[in-house]
Amino acid sequence: MERIRNVALLGNPNSGKSSLFNQLTGLNQKVGNFPGVTVEKKTGICSLNNGEKLKIVDLPGSYSLYPRSLDEYVVFNTLLDKNNPEHPDLAIVIIDASNIKRNLLLFTQVTDLGIPTILVLNMLDVATNRGQRVSPTQIGKSFSTSTISLNARTGQGVELLKKAISKNIISRPTPIFNSSDFENGIEEEIKKNFSIEKDFIARILLIQYENFPGISDEERKLIKDLIRKKKFNPELSQSKEILKRYEIIDKVIHEAVVYNLQKNRNLTEKLDKIFTHRIFGYVIFLGILFLMFQAVFAWAQAPMEFIDYSFSEISVFLKSILSAGVLTNLITEGVIPGIGGVIIFIPQIAILFAFISVLEETGYMSRVVFLTDKIMRRFGLNGKSIVPLISGVACAIPAILATRTIGNWKERLITIFVTPLMSCSARLPVYTILIALVVPEDYLLGFLNIQALALMGLYILGFVMSIISASIVNLVVKAKEKGYFIMELPLYKLPRWKNVGITIYEKSSTFALEAGKIILAISIILWVAASYGPGDKVENAESYVSASLKDGNIDEKDFEAKVDAFKLENSFAGIFGKALEPAIKPLGYDWKIGIALVTSFAAREVFVGTMATIYSIGSEEESTIKSRMAAEINPDTGQAMYTPAVAFSLLVFYAFAMQCMSTLAVVKKETNSWKWPILQLFYMTGLAYLCSLIVYNIFS
Amino acid sequence: MGKRSVADLNPGESGIIKGFSDNVISLKLMEMGCLPGSTIKMNFAAPLGDPISYYVAGYNLTLRTSEASAILIE
């Protein structure tokens, strides 16, 4: 069988590369990571009309082959390492025809590597609107390359591209750039020593020898000596190369593009006057934020309730048809609620990423980055940190994945570190019940609901703490590389709904798989820990409870609830909660709250369910749990257990503590080390402890 | 008057790029189309004065003021 051909898709950011990728592969995509780095790798299968299947690799958008960011290193390694499994047999370079000069730079570099290349001219319509008439045939002739013009948004021309690929007549290109007039033979020596055929590959090895794939230390030394002997200045040489390439490009453009400058001033300029206005700019941004939160919390409510209801119905149904036993209990009390606990977040995540994807597609997100960069920079963050921080309000996991767009490692790390401090939706049920317990349902000045204010206060608290923490991390962490901001402000466009749909699908499924595995595993472990204990106390709970009752006059429901509470108290989880008591007593908590803190490790909202079990109430109705918690007496004081001091202390604890295994796992994956998740766990939990201690002592 | 850089341009004002005061960043900027001899126009600054949007090589490029001050103009 013939090997599947690899096709690499290359282009500048905003050149329509993702749209073309979606056009070629549809939903036949796989998202993963490039080995060793945390850059997102998208591959897909494209079927040609002659039945051949191709593997398309969507390489990260880049401006040049000389790498400066993580993304660009991925492109570099894929193209220069012949042993890389993604090393292309064919390269497709897509360029934005309305911005042809800068886009062609990458194309000339890829061509010089000697990989067969097809040049795709995209956005010719935009170029025409801006008064530029581009001739694809002339460009193809000038570079002697197969050139296809297409519209990646509508898909027009994609068939032509597929035909060009299937013909397989794309010849090895002739080099465009030649450095012989300013390098005194150093490249020839590299070519000879390393038996390299292409001038440009030798040149890249010379300039990038420290990062070049598959080069041994001795070979590095050899190049280093050669550079010293020949007095080679890599920076000067590179700047000469850039100038030379642009000179060649200018010549081609001169023949292939006709500029008609009389054409209309573009819409983008007018829109930018509004969207980056010193007042309206921020008002519009806050308005969009408000709409987004409104959508995430209000629109997601119905589907979330439906999911919640369906999963509890499934549990009840399975319990009724399966024979009673350990396995049935594991499925109905561990596995099914575990899966439900993952699925329930999908509506919020889907809505959030629908918004974010539309904002990115239209080009507005770049303006938000532009508006907020200066503010964020003060705290060691980047304008691009705003997207992860906003996403953190739904769930920290997709938010942390969204930090991949931040090119600077330090700024990205700080963003990852502080994002979990934003109050995610799993904290909301905990906030709601505790606020309802101790904050009076009064109105301030007659119209401001105090409970709502308290809730808003907690969200602000989370945001403020993440900003403060960013400043702290900023002082501690040393920068590995110099941070650039250099960013293109793309033209405003209407969103491509196909791209939006694919983003929603992809983010939701990544979340379900990444977080799902862990939440499910933890739910099962917790279920075991809460259902079993040492000795026979859990197993024979019924007889222990009836023995402790003085008279047998208790109705069945109360008895069952008492048995459940007794079981939990004597289970492994209960024992652990009791062991925790000395540590959490200064915060005002008892061992029962200790159990809830332990179970919250799978997902914070488990707090509510655990409270229901601990206080032996049959139903999970919020009002019942609330009244039961309100009636709880502290045995030491004889007063109510949940004083405002205890409740506020708990609220602050839940706001700051790192109680999410899935987040830690994602941080581990994204930072490629255990160091950051462990630091995050201790920092956040330590912060939670300290702040709760302070709050408890102030209020009691 | 010292060396004038792109960061000194007012909204709507153009300049011709003469060179760079920082070698490392100059390569990145040149790749992005900021070539010596080409015209760069200041579009507008962000409301807090930084970053700044420029028009160069046929598109809009945003730079932080620290980056813009590395581009010298005639």
Averaged pLDDT in 10-residue chunks for chain A of 700 residues: 84 91 85 64 89 92 86 89 90 94 95 93 89 91 91 92 81 78 81 88 91 89 91 90 94 89 68 92 91 82 89 88 84 81 84 89 91 91 89 86 80 94 88 87 79 88 95 86 79 90 87 77 80 81 77 70 80 88 92 85 76 64 74 82 92 94 87 92 96 94
Report how far residue A422's alpha carbon sits from residue A522's, in angstroms, rounded to the nearest whole number.
23
Q: Do B32 and A489 touch (CB under 8 A)?
A: no
Instruction: Inform me whether the pLDDT recorded for B62 exceeds 70.
Output: yes
Q: Do B61 and A487 touch (CB under 8 A)?
A: yes
A190/A152 same-domain check:
no
Among A71, A246, A489, the strongest candidate for a mutation testing the B interface, having the largest count of B CBs within 10 A, is A489
Asked if residue A352 is part of any domain, the answer here is no
A115/A202 same-domain check:
no
The pLDDT, as a whole number, for residue A564 is 77
Q: Which domain holds residue B18?
A: 6-73
Asked if residue A10 is part of any domain, the answer here is yes
Among B55, B62, B65, B69, the strongest candidate for a mutation testing the A interface, having the largest count of A CBs within 10 A, is B62
Split at pLDDT 50, 70, 90, the class of B20 is very high
The pLDDT, as a whole number, for residue A34 is 62
Report how far residue A363's alpha carbon sits from residue B68's, in angstroms, rounded to the nearest whole number.
23
Q: Do B27 and A485 touch (CB under 8 A)?
A: no
A102/A27 same-domain check:
yes
| Closest Cβ opposite residue B23 in set A235, A282, A371 | A235
CATH code for the domain of A56: 3.40.50.300
A153/A22 same-domain check:
yes
Asked if residue B56 is part of any domain, the answer here is yes
What is the overall mean pLDDT for chain B? 91
- Contact call for residues A607 and A589 (beta carbons, < 8 A): no
Per DSSP, the three-state class of B17 is strand
Asked if residue A627 is part of any domain, the answer here is yes
Asked if residue B60 is part of any domain, the answer here is yes
A495-520: burial string, b at 16+ Cβ within 10 Å, e else:
bbeebbebbbebbbebbbebbbebbb
A152/A214 same-domain check:
no
CA distance B4 to chain A (A): 20
Asked if residue B68 is part of any domain, the answer here is yes
The pLDDT, as a whole number, for residue A102 is 94
Asked if residue B39 is part of any domain, the answer here is yes
Q: Do B28 and A68 touch (CB under 8 A)?
A: yes
Q: Do A484 and B48 touch (CB under 8 A)?
A: no
A133/A85 same-domain check:
yes
Amino acid at A189: E
Q: Do B32 and A63 touch (CB under 8 A)?
A: yes
Q: Do A276 and B47 touch (CB under 8 A)?
A: yes
Asked if residue A551 is part of any domain, the answer here is yes
A565/A682 same-domain check:
yes
User: Which pLDDT tens digit goes with each residue over A478-495?
Assistant: 876 666 788 889 889 899
Gyration radius from chain B CA atoms: 11
CATH code for the domain of B53: 2.30.30.90
CA distance B59 to chain A (A): 6
- Please give the DSSP secondary-structure letter assigned to residue A335: I
Q: How many domains does chain A have?
A: 3
Q: Which residues of A touch B25 (CB under 8 A)?
A: 482, 484
The β-bridge partners of A159 are: none
CA distance A201 to chain B (A): 18
User: Which pLDDT tens digit goes with each residue over A403-431?
Assistant: 877 877 889 999 999 999 999 888 888 89
A30/A142 same-domain check:
yes
Quote the tokens at residue B50.
């930084």
The pLDDT, as a whole number, for residue A123 is 93
Asked if residue A528 is part of any domain, the answer here is yes
- Contact call for residues A353 and A508 (beta carbons, < 8 A): yes
Q: Do B58 and A235 touch (CB under 8 A)?
A: no
Asked if residue B47 is part of any domain, the answer here is yes
Q: Do A66 and B32 touch (CB under 8 A)?
A: no
A162/A195 same-domain check:
no
Asked if residue B50 is part of any domain, the answer here is yes
Asked if residue A666 is part of any domain, the answer here is yes
Report how far residue A637's alpha carbon sits from residue A644's, in angstroms, rounded to the nearest whole number.
15
Report how far residue A240's alpha carbon sits from residue A55's, in angstroms, rounded to the nearest whole number.
36
CA distance A198 to chain B (A): 22
Q: Which residues of B touch A268 (CB under 8 A)?
A: 60
Scanning every residue of chain B, which has its alpha carbon at the shortest distance from the alpha carbon of A242?
B31
The pLDDT, as a whole number, for residue A481 is 65
Instruction: Inform me whether the pLDDT recorded for B1 exceeds 60.
Output: no
The pLDDT, as a whole number, for residue A2 is 64
Asked casually if ipTM beats, i.e. exceeds, 0.90, the reply is yes
Q: Do B27 and A235 touch (CB under 8 A)?
A: yes
Residue A134's φ and ψ, nearest 5 degrees, are -105, 135
The pLDDT, as a whole number, for residue A166 is 85
A97/A245 same-domain check:
no
Q: Report yes or no: B26 at the A interface, CB cutoff 8 Å.
A: yes
CA distance B2 to chain A (A): 25
What own/partner pairs with CB < 8 Å and gap ≥ 24 does A457-465 have?
A458/A423, A458/A427, A458/A431, A458/A651, A458/A655, A459/A393, A459/A423, A461/A423, A461/A652, A461/A655, A462/A421, A462/A422, A462/A423, A462/A655, A462/A656, A463/A389, A463/A421, A463/A422, A465/A421, A465/A655, A465/A656, A465/A687
| Closest Cβ opposite residue A486 in set B23, B49, B67 | B67
The pLDDT, as a whole number, for residue A37 is 60
Among A62, A101, A102, A108, the strongest candidate for a mutation testing the B interface, having the largest count of B CBs within 10 A, is A102
Asked if residue A114 is part of any domain, the answer here is yes
The pLDDT, as a whole number, for residue A385 is 92
The pLDDT, as a whole number, for residue A482 is 65
Give the residue from A507, A482, A501, A519 showing the smallest Cα distance to A602.
A519
The β-bridge partners of A90 are: A7
The pLDDT, as a whole number, for residue A553 is 65
The pLDDT, as a whole number, for residue A686 is 96
Q: Do A278 and B63 touch (CB under 8 A)?
A: no
A560/A589 same-domain check:
yes
Asked if residue B1 is part of any domain, the answer here is no
| Closest Cβ opposite residue A488 in set B30, B36, B61 | B61
A142/A205 same-domain check:
no
Q: How many domains does chain B have?
A: 1
Per DSSP, the three-state class of A146 is strand
Asked if residue B26 is part of any domain, the answer here is yes
Q: Do A370 and B51 touch (CB under 8 A)?
A: yes
Q: List, in order, residues 6 or more apart from A272 with CB less than 8 Å away.
A: A367, A489, B43, B44, B53
Is the bond preceding A234 in cis, omega lying within 30 degrees of 0?
A: no
Number of A/B CB contacts below 8 angstroms equals 98
Picking from A259, A278, A294, the residue at the C-terminal end of a domain is A259
Q: Which domain holds residue A102?
A: 5-167
Q: Mean per-residue pLDDT for B12-36?
A: 92
Among B17, B23, B31, the strongest candidate for a mutation testing the A interface, having the largest count of A CBs within 10 A, is B31
